[in-house]
Amino acid sequence: MKEAYKTMDEEWSNNACRGYVIKAMENCGFHAKEIRQVLTELYEVFDFCAVEEAAHYYENWQS
């Protein structure tokens, strides 16, 4: 089942999130091995963390 959500005229999907992570990490100079490690962890986080929980975590990160 494809997991996608419509929010403010943009489609959310786990693959879109992965793409953002890859682009950001490449822009910061991370190597493919490091990016793969983060993506592997991201699969786990997607399984055990709801979208709302992730948003709350982001909004309160380092506050």
pTM of the model: 0.76
Contact 11, 4 (CB under 8 A): yes
Contact 3, 14 (CB under 8 A): yes
pLDDT at position 63: 85
pLDDT at position 1: 42
Return mean pLDDT, the chain. 88
Check residues 57 and 10 and name the one with the higher pLDDT: 57
DSSP calls for 8-60: TTEEEEHHHHHHHHHHHHHHTT--HHHHHHHHHHHHHHHHH--HHHHHHHHHH
List pLDDT tens digits, range 27-48: 999 999 999 999 999 999 999 9
Residue 5 has pLDDT above 80, yes or no: no
Gyration radius from the chain CA atoms: 13
pLDDT at position 3: 52
